[in-house]
Chains A and B, each alone.
Chain A
Amino acid sequence: MSTFEIDKFALYVEASDEQVRSYAADPEAYVARWEQRGLASRVPVADGGTLTMEERQALATGDYAELYRLGAHPYVLWHFVEAVFVWAGDVSWPEMTERYRTAITPHGRPDFST
């Protein structure tokens, strides 16, 4: 599976305040709705898609280190994380940058082409 689906998901969520709040409030339910919309349509939709088990698990738990390892676009992923955990969450920006750096650094530089 292409990492495109992760990037599509993260870009869609991060693009609007409403979606960030919705995802941050209940990531698991948000991911379920995303997949339902993706499965319900035979044509591509902007607000849904299909995910692998790994992708689903990582998105439903906000596991950004795993998303990074799977090849999420780093720029897209960081802004997704910043929106969810700092803007809509309770983590300070300096704390989040350190947490993020510590979590992703062991994974080096995964290929983020799709």
Chain B
Amino acid sequence: MAELVAILGVPHNPLLWRPMRDPMPEDLQRTSANFAAFRQALSEARPDVLVVVASDHARAFSHVNSPAFCIGKAPHFVCTYENEIRTFGLDGWEVPGDTELAGWLLGGLELAGGFDFAMSNEWLLDHAFAIPLVYLTDLDVPVVPIHANAAIPPLPPARRFADLGTYLAEAIKAAPFDKRVALVTSGHLATEVGGPKQFLGGDSPDQEFDDHAVAWMRDGDLEAAVAGCTLERLLAAGNVTAQYLNFITALAAAGGRPASFAEGTPSRYAAGPFFRWDISA
């Protein structure tokens, strides 16, 4: 039987990559420290595999073909794209996959568990996956990436992200093999790219949303999070804020329990989300 040993939610802001290094700028010290603490917590959980729930940014899944949820079932994955290397200065990284767990979550000949995943055997991961992996690991722990569409309308509603978390927790627990599994989610608080509120120099595009969004995780209020994350409200908070929905998946996977750590970390960018549920082994 597999075991869920850690649940994390972190930012994947690729603009961190160039400036967040020594000598550490003062405004990024807290973000860097949070990543370090989460990396330590993840290491202490000794995961055999990471399930990473994040949202591709119209790179692997564009308007030509846009699944709501897709599981990557490949023996290894490569990050990232030529334009992300150009724009964000990211490097090309490789991580091993875990076809056994991916196959279990998907099903064999028939989709498992009533959750209609798409499947990919060859998938170049973008920064939504690369940033968490490079800050939280040495890129040596096998990964099962799950794309949750929070970029290309129509998006799944918040309830489906909660359903995904519930499904993952149950499916991992029911797996017929012994593995220690960590769930890593990535996303945003209120954030805008390409809209009128982008790059406000550290001010949140929507502080009221951020306050609620952190509180829902801190208090373990899954139903309030689902109710508060209508697509209309998310878009009003910023046009990529829907990637917060991945944290609803984390909260649901934690059984709706309050997060052990919940913070919107300020910096020169929109606040960075850090959520962690400690699970004693």
A in complex with B: yes
Residues of A participating in the B interface, judged by any CB pair closer than 8 Å: 4, 7-8, 11, 14-17, 44, 68, 73-79, 82-83, 87, 97, 101, 104-105, 108-109, 112-114
Pair B196/A104 contact, Cβ less than 8 Å? yes
Cβ-defined partner of A114 (8 Å) among B57, B63, B87, B235: B63
Kindly state the separation between the CA atoms of A78 and B196 in the bound complex, as whole angstroms.
11
Q: Which of B26-34, B78-86, B105-113 binds A?
A: B78-86
Enumerate chain A residues within 8 angstroms of B152, measured Cβ to Cβ. Answer: 73, 114
Prevailing SS type, chain B contact patch:
loop
B260 at interface by CB-CB < 8 Å: no
Given contacts A101-B196, A109-B239, contact A75 B57 (CB under 8 A): yes
Chain B, 62-82, contact with A by CB distance < 8 Å: what is the 0/1 string? Answer: 111000000000000000011
Enumerate 25 A-B pairs (CB-CB under 8 Å) in ascending A order. A8-B64, A15-B82, A17-B82, A17-B86, A73-B58, A73-B63, A73-B151, A73-B194, A74-B193, A75-B151, A75-B193, A75-B194, A75-B240, A76-B194, A78-B193, A79-B83, A79-B193, A83-B83, A87-B87, A104-B196, A109-B196, A113-B154, A114-B63, A114-B152, A114-B153
Q: How far is the CB of B90 from chain A (nearest CB, A)?
A: 14
Kindly state the separation between the CA atoms of A76 and B195 in the bound complex, as whole angstroms.
11
Given contacts A15-B81, A17-B86, A112-B153, contact A74 B63 (CB under 8 A): no
Enumerate chain B residues within 8 angstroms of A82, measured Cβ to Cβ. Answer: 87
Kindly state the separation between the CA atoms of A17 and B86 in the bound complex, as whole angstroms.
8
Cβ-defined partner of A7 (8 Å) among B62, B195, B235: B62
Pair A77/B82 contact, Cβ less than 8 Å? no
Enumerate chain B residues within 8 angstroms of A7, measured Cβ to Cβ. Answer: 58, 62-63
Q: How many residues of B contact A (CB 8 A)?
A: 24
Given contacts A15-B81, A87-B87, A112-B153, contact A75 B239 (CB under 8 A): yes
Kindly state the separation between the CA atoms of A83 and B193 in the bound complex, as whole angstroms.
14
Kindly state the separation between the CA atoms of A79 and B240 in the bound complex, as whole angstroms.
14
Kindly state the separation between the CA atoms of A114 and B199 in the bound complex, as whole angstroms.
26
Kindly state the separation between the CA atoms of A109 and B231 in the bound complex, as whole angstroms.
14
Looking across the interface, which residue of chain B has its beta carbon closest to that of A81?
Answer: B194
Residues of B participating in the A interface, judged by any CB pair closer than 8 Å: 57-58, 62-64, 81-83, 86-87, 151-154, 192-196, 198-199, 235, 239-240
Kindly state the separation between the CA atoms of A113 and B239 in the bound complex, as whole angstroms.
12
Pair B199/A97 contact, Cβ less than 8 Å? yes
